[in-house]
A and B are shown apart, each in its own frame.
Chain A
Amino acid sequence: KAGVTQTPRYLIKTRGQQVTLSCSPISGHRSVSWYQQTPGQGLQFLFEYFSETQRNKGNFPGRFSGRQFSNSRSEMNVSTLELGDSALYLCASSGDSFGEQFFGPGTRLTVL
């Protein structure tokens, strides 16, 4: 069974730009969660989608948004990038809402 895939793996953007990250969950998994990981803050929950609906949301500004498609693939978008958005963005899929999570390798975003 293929694991969670994330694209792209690395991304460099400048302040003010916007970015879209993609995540393909494990086949059959309907829940996809997004996390931001930084050395200072650790792993911070962004949001979770289940069957195309946002089920849970973390404490991030509205510049961070996401969506899920009917095939369970998910995208997250960050608009008006700030230097502090530089982080590893991780996607995790689960067979049920917030069950055991299986992570992708992450997208390393650098904002200059």
Chain B
Amino acid sequence: TQLLEQSPQFLSIQEGENLTVYCNSSSVFSSLQWYRQEPGEGPVLLVTVVTGGEVKKLKRLTFQFGDARKDSSLHITAAQPGDTGLYLCAGGLLNNDMRFGAGTRLTVKP
């Protein structure tokens, strides 16, 4: 079983729609990162959140870290085809170990 559970696993939406993907765990993380990965490439860091309850915005993307630092969400407003990719969350455990979720594969259709 994954330490970090991401949901949904797959998401296919039309351009212009909004969506939220989730990253949940029973473990407490010192930090949590979101990455986007496109086929044939390595993951690209989108954001790091470190404080419980923290909200960060990156253009149309809004990231939230749960108050207890066990979960996070990524909300995309007015999705575009360029948002298509595999979204990965990664949590830093208190012993400096880093764990990744299995990812949410997002497809945005024009």
Contact = CB atoms under 8 A, between A and B. Distances in A.
Contacts of A48: 98
Contact of A92 (B41, B42, B92, B103): B42
A42 B42 contact: no
A101 B40 contact: no
A104 interface: yes
A101 B33 contact: yes
Interface residues of B, number: 21
Nearest to B41: A105
Interface residues of A, number: 22
Interface string A94-109: 0001101111111010
B103 A42 contact: yes
A74 interface: no
Contacts of A98: 92, 96-98
B28 interface: no
A45 B45 contact: no
A109 to B, nearest CB: 14
A100 B45 contact: yes
Interface of A: 4, 33, 35, 42-45, 48, 55-56, 90, 92, 97-98, 100-106, 108
